[in-house]
Amino acid sequence: MGHKDHHQTKFIPSNAPTSRTAKFKNRQGLIEATLQALSDLGYANASVSEIIKRARLSRGMIHLHFGSKDNLVIETAKHASERYHAFLETCLKCAGPSPQEQVEAIVKHDLSEDVLNATSVRVWYELRGAIYFQKELASYSDTRDERLRNVLFHLFIQLLETYGLKEATQENAEDVTFAFLALMEGMWTDYLLHQNGFQRENAKRSVFRFLQTLFPDHFDLTGAKLT
């Protein structure tokens, strides 16, 4: 009934050409709708019907644009992953060059409202869980994986070296990286589970307290309060 009208009012404000720009917009719309459905309903209940309802598009569009629903989910994961890494890279470039400033930037990025919010945390959790029976997701649900792990490892190496702990630097840096990543993972999980009670500032303070005990010369709790 009103489907066509909705589509027109949504994507063709006046009388602009539909063709390619509209096709791209619909493609993006499906991805956004999938993110929303995953967030609202979880992977188990994010059906084709629920996705197209949110996209306000017709049933066949998923097949037309993505071939299958599985593929749509994979592309959605890819989209989310790229957004995460792009924003992270921006944050790292804006921050100062010193290791402590870089680490600080990573913490603030990962706990910022742009990254750690109700929708994205839910989607991230659901897509991770789905890796088991949708192996192709693994490559795109790699938030906080090898790339970031390597960056952190080298940052911590530098920080450890300033203490002159040459002997066990390698192993120490590995352990610190491992623990730091686990800590950040845990923060996200805590946000997921206690969305109402979660205090962003407390989370930041805990992480900086952790960093402070490890590197008392480089970190203090004032870092947790800055945006």
Partner DNA sequence: TCATTGTATGGACGATTGTCCATTTACATG
Partner DNA sequence: CATGTAAATGGACAATCGTCCATACAATGA
Task: Kindly list the residues in this chain that would bind DNA in the complex (CB under 7 A).
Answer: 1, 3-4, 7-8, 12, 15, 17-20, 22-23, 26, 45-50, 57-65, 67-70
What's the N-to-C CA distance of the chain in angstroms?
Answer: 48
Cα distance between residue 194 and residue 87, in whole Å: 25
Q: Rule CB under 8 A: is residue 179 a binding residue for a copy of itself?
A: yes
Q: Which does 170 bind (CB under 5 to 8 A by kind): DNA, a copy of itself, none?
A: none
Cα distance between residue 88 and residue 106, in whole Å: 7
- Closest to a copy of itself by CB, 102 vs 141, is 141
Q: Rule CB under 8 A: is residue 12 a binding residue for a copy of itself?
A: no
Angle formed by the axes of helices 99-110 and 69-94, nearest 10°: 140
Token match 């066990």: residue?
Answer: 168
Q: Which does 49 bind (CB under 5 to 8 A by kind): DNA, a copy of itself, none?
A: DNA
Q: Rule CB under 8 A: is residue 132 a binding residue for a copy of itself?
A: yes
Residue 193: partners with Cβ closer than 8 Å, 6 or more residues away: none
Min CB(145)–a copy of itself separation in Å: 8
- Closest to a copy of itself by CB, 88 vs 127, is 127
Rg over CA atoms, the chain: 21
